[in-house]
Structure 1
Amino acid sequence: MRKRLRAAGALLTCLLLLVVSGCATVPEESQARVISSGGMATPAPPIPEPDKDLDALGVVREFVSASAQPSNDHNRARLFLDPPSRSTWRPDRGLTVMEEKFDTVYSPSQPEDPNRRVVLLRGTNVGKLGPDSAFIPLRDSFERPVQLARQPDGQWRIVSPANDIVITEPDFTRNYFRVPVYFFATDRNSLVPDLRYVVQKPQSGLPGRVIDLLLAGPSDFLDGAVNNPLGQASIDQNVSNAADGAVVVPLTGVSEQSEELKRLIVAQVVLSLQSVTSSRIRLLSDGAPLVPGREEWRASDLPSYETSSSPSSDLPGLMISGGRVRSLNDGAPVPGPAGSRAYDVVTAAQSVDGKQLAVIERQDGRLWLRVGEFGSELARTELNGDRLSRPTWRPALTGTGEGGELWTVVDGSQVVRVLRTAQGTWASQVVNADSVRSVGPDISAIRLSRDGTRAAMVVTGRLVVVSVVRTADSVSLRSPRVLQETRLSDVTDVDWANQDSLVAITGSTALPVVRVPVDGLRLDQFNLSNLTPPLHAITAAPSRPVVVADREGLWTASEVGEVWTPHDHSLPLDTIPFYPG
């Protein structure tokens, strides 16, 4: 509702400006705020007319290509419409993205009028760009009838075009630019990137378009999962370039906020803009510096918001081998019962801060969860089952200094979070995962993002991402999205490479290790050299090499194209590596 109100207010402002001044300073693109060049505007080059004498099939194909250029209210695409449609067509803010190869064929049912044709546009969806400018993965085939009429000059033109624009994936990547806009985790302890797509041209308008997205709030996927200090803010004037080169962001509605909240807003704005400009950011609130005494900011001026969500370099990671927990650094058993084989450890997880350890042990034919301080006796909880997935930790909350919540999946169906009680014991609470079960009946792996706002899961062999939405007394997994569904059908394990990308292993010999952004738009395949499929475990973390396990031992690689090299302390057969988290 707030997004709709802001959009209506912006429209009313534009109408008032036109009535009062009659000038043409309103941004040309509805989703953009144009940055002034500081001089006379350069006239737009004339748009070339479509090639003459295209048949109806060619007109539809060219219309699809032109639709990828949204500037000037899709003027290029409008040239392929008949005159009435040119003035009445109102394209949706979102669009459908299909594979590069698509077909245009004449429909078997054609009008009797020889000056009318129906062309079928056939393709395979890659996904949709929603009204919130976030990409939504979707794989299915579609067929759309397109009606055309021969004009008095003999040219075929589209009549009554659909408002849902369809473009190809290559055209999408050429014309739209991916930007992370930042919000905070619910405890405001770490920043969360929300991947969105903005029109690339004109480049001078990129900062303004990013600010528009930021002020509109989180994407539908993350709505309810993140905190937005900018929730009451709006833009006072257009984002602009100052004469000294700084990008000026004039906010309003935030002057009464605390200085602490204003500094969070600074972080949101500056980090969201860093992918589209290297200029200084001049942040104003009602014409004055947003933070008193400090007008301009760069990303290097900000404190780190990743301390709680990224493992320290002092924590090298661990591995399970022979029923005991060992260090990835030197292969030595860790101190305490978990390293001495007092427990028959099947899998384990270390908290992000390194202070806590959770292990799944096998005892009397069942699996049990134990949790406690790293290096000490681990208390056995009441949680048990025939199958327990590798645990995953929520990052430490502000002020507590230690992790107090971990998750696992019981018997492939029940997602459970285990909480530290006031008495120091651990209690289980079922997480609402009804939406995930709609994807498939078996959940074999779950990894919380290290900022705690998303979870990556393996559901019946599919790679799935969900948002984690918390209320005062419950937690729900919402908006499941299957990533690269047609190419990844036999995923076996997953981990977070960083806050907005995943690495996964599959049962496929052609795609044993892949990297996928959290929105699933693309897939990058790791080098195949030296690996012996099938792989059975993977771990990753920011600024750490990816580690995978096959039947020969552990292998590491830092980049997608890098040849896998043996880990210095590799152990064969049953080894399971894991970084904190």
Structure 2
Amino acid sequence: MKRLLTLLAVFLLVAGCANIPLESQPVVVSGDKPAQAPVDVPEPAAGIDSLTVTRQFIRNSATPGTANADARVYLDDEARRTWKPSPGLTIIDDTFGTVYDTSSPQENPDEQLVNVRGFKLGTLSPDNAFIPQKAEYSQQFKLRKQANGQWRIVDPPQDLAITDEDFSVNYFRVPIRFYSPDSGTFVPDLRYVAAKPQSGLPGRVMDLVLQGPSEGLKGAVKDLLADQVTTDTNVRSTDDGTLDVALTGIGGASLADRTLIAAQIVLSLQTVTLSRIRLLADGTALVPDHEYWRSSDLPAYNTEIEPNLELKGLMTVNGRVRSLGDGAPVGGPAGNGGYKVVSAAQSVDGKRLAVVEERDGRQWLRVGDLGHDLGSVELFGGSLSRPTWRPVPRGSGGVSGEVWTVVDHNTVARVTLAADGRWVKAGVDATMLTGLGQITELRLSRDGSRLAAVVNGQLVIASIVRTADSVALRSPRSLQERQLKDVVDVDWATQDHLIVATSSSTLPVVKVPLDGQRMDAFNSSNLTPPVHGVTAAPNRQNLVADAGGLWVASELGEVWRPQAHTVTEADPFYPG
């Protein structure tokens, strides 16, 4: 009987251990006993003043996944027990002030009010996406001297604030991938996960995949995983170095959908693991006869949205369209002077050209095959922004058939190719974007899910939501409002990064991720501000235009070099 009981106890212990997660997080304990910080989080140094306590509370609020244990030690016993901060974070500038509140006298010498003042850069939303915001940050803290003589916060805020530097150290940016049926590619959705422990990164990324697209991308992409899909066990590494991802709830998904789900998971995890990935669904291979995956096993989903390297790009010079490859004019009226070209855009596939033509005191749109006569579209105004092409839709036969422009800085318009070969106007619900101000530039992303625009000299992005009978712009957001001003042009360097030109002499060209969480300046050597144009594309040199001509550079720190066929007054553009 003793042996039987011993074996039973061991069995129960092992069974219990099977459900213990690979990572645990401290939780706030309810009840009368004050919650204490974990033993490995020391109490603050003795004797620090209330201003220092407040500053250190903010600096220690950045550590995720610990029930805010590092910040909780700056609270009094009651606050430690009851404090439940809201999900999400406010990110403030690294330089912030803490001052005593002198607006009203404090009757109790053992209590003090401390005001925190700073600049708000953005928030980390509950879905782990960064949302840029430009605002002043202000928060008041009440502190009380404890029986041991130490100052502690008694009313911590529900909304956590951390500095930009601490956010960068403690959070890791990951592009979670979601499928776009429109372009047949995967679209990055920039999200942020706790950087430590590093071993748990794949699990945290997989959680975001299962949550679906962030609020700013919903509707622009397809969520391949239904609400009932979850992981059957923790995402974990096995002894042979394989990363196991076991799903449940896939049900009767087709082979095509299962293959896309596999691609979504592998593409999302590739930034946090080099291991091969074992994908299971309800105990068997997610994709029959394909249990183990690496990113090299996936097809090239971006082939249709990235311009062929043989397409060298074009430029408009003195009313004509010329090649960036050899400087020669393109065929047809667009190159020989038959049209007075103001601006132009080449389709991603390289086969078509859209130009804005000056005619009869107005600007008109023309669209057609490159090297031939371009049909005039019934779309005109006092000004039209440089055209931009929608990517080749999946299943369309490989030919671009939609162009966008902005009429008179306030009307977003698009034209589509009808069955009879005519280019006709189609509607766009752009109210959310046009409500922000005057639009001078517009660029569709080459995956078709977003657009970038210059609005009142600011950089703005928005998502493009398509249904069977409508197209709408949603979730417009201004990026780097505080530092990035006087924007004159923008282009998509990759799916998740933009190259921006400004008229500023101090920041003529910068690189910005699509969420605007940071900004990196290019070397300004050899440029003659103001820069008036920029173009970029995957696997291409960045190309800018200034008063002296055209200049190329591949990296941020690289000195700009003259483009091989540089001319003054040129506006360059890669396909897209």
TM > 0.5: yes
* 8 Å Cα contact 1:137/1:520 also seen in 2: yes
Separation in structure 1 between the aligned mates of residue 230 and residue 260 of structure 2, nearest angstrom: 16
1:453 corresponds to which of 449, 454, 467: 449
Separation in structure 2 between the aligned mates of residue 186 and residue 445 of structure 1, nearest angstrom: 27
2:574 corresponds to which of 561, 568, 579: 579
* 8 Å Cα contact 2:366/2:376 also seen in 1: yes
Q: Residue 32 of structure 2 aligns with which residue?
A: none
**1:431 counterpart = 2:417:** no
The letter of the residue matching 1:144 is Q
Separation in structure 2 between the aligned mates of residue 25 and residue 57 of structure 1, nearest angstrom: 41
Cα offset, 1:186, TM superposition? 3.6
**1:227 counterpart = 2:219:** no
Tell me the SS of whatever aligns to 2:63: coil
Q: TM-score, normalised by structure 2?
A: 0.93
1:344 corresponds to which of 337, 340, 347: 340
The letter of the residue matching 1:337 is P
Cα offset, 1:424, TM superposition? 1.3
* 8 Å Cα contact 1:110/1:117 also seen in 2: no
1:105 corresponds to which of 96, 99, 109: 99
Tell me the SS of whatever aligns to 2:493: strand
Q: Residue 370 of structure 2 aligns with which residue?
A: 374
Cα offset, 1:227, TM superposition? 1.1
Q: Residue 409 of structure 1 aligns with which residue?
A: 406
Separation in structure 2 between the aligned mates of residue 427 and residue 253 of structure 1, nearest angstrom: 45
Cα offset, 1:29, TM superposition? 4.3
Q: CA-to-partner distance for each residue in 1:329-354, whole Å, 9 max, x for gaps?
A: 00111122211111111111011111
Tell me the SS of whatever aligns to 2:80: helix
The letter of the residue matching 1:192 is V
Tell me the SS of whatever aligns to 1:111: coil
Separation in structure 2 between the aligned mates of residue 211 and residue 452 of structure 1, nearest angstrom: 25
* 8 Å Cα contact 2:181/2:394 also seen in 1: no
2:463 corresponds to which of 443, 446, 467: 467
Q: CA-to-partner distance for each residue in 1:167-222, whole Å, 9 max, x for gaps?
A: 00000000000000000124260110000000011111100000001100001100
**1:88 counterpart = 2:85:** no
* 8 Å Cα contact 1:188/1:227 also seen in 2: no
Separation in structure 2 between the aligned mates of residue 541 and residue 66 of structure 1, nearest angstrom: 40
Aligned length: 550
Q: Residue 138 of structure 1 aligns with which residue?
A: 133
Q: Residue 283 of structure 1 aligns with which residue?
A: 279
Q: Residue 9 of structure 2 aligns with which residue?
A: none
Cα offset, 1:225, TM superposition? 0.9
* 8 Å Cα contact 2:183/2:391 also seen in 1: no
Separation in structure 1 between the aligned mates of residue 350 and residue 362 of structure 2, nearest angstrom: 27
2:256 corresponds to which of 243, 260, 278: 260
Q: TM-score, normalised by structure 1?
A: 0.92
Change (3 A) 1:30 1:300: farther
Q: Residue 116 of structure 2 aligns with which residue?
A: 121
The letter of the residue matching 2:125 is G
Cα offset, 1:376, TM superposition? 1.6
The letter of the residue matching 1:55 is D
Separation in structure 1 between the aligned mates of residue 167 and residue 105 of structure 2, nearest angstrom: 32
**1:181 counterpart = 2:181:** no
Cα offset, 1:128, TM superposition? 0.5
* 8 Å Cα contact 1:28/1:73 also seen in 2: no
**1:58 counterpart = 2:55:** no
The letter of the residue matching 1:254 is I
Tell me the SS of whatever aligns to 2:426: strand
Tell me the SS of whatever aligns to 1:209: helix
* 8 Å Cα contact 1:106/1:120 also seen in 2: yes
Change (3 A) 1:317 1:178: same
Tell me the SS of whatever aligns to 1:53: coil
The letter of the residue matching 1:413 is N
**1:501 counterpart = 2:497:** yes
The letter of the residue matching 1:96 is T
The letter of the residue matching 2:406 is V
Cα offset, 1:423, TM superposition? 1.2
* 8 Å Cα contact 1:99/1:124 also seen in 2: yes
Separation in structure 1 between the aligned mates of residue 217 and residue 193 of structure 2, nearest angstrom: 18
Q: Residue 213 of structure 1 aligns with which residue?
A: 208
Q: CA-to-partner distance for each residue in 1:296-343, whole Å, 9 max, x for gaps?
A: 111111001101211011211111112111111001111222111111
Tell me the SS of whatever aligns to 2:338: coil
Separation in structure 2 between the aligned mates of residue 554 and residue 173 of structure 1, nearest angstrom: 35
Using the aligned pairs only, state the percent identity: 53
Cα offset, 1:90, TM superposition? 1.2
Q: Residue 147 of structure 1 aligns with which residue?
A: 142
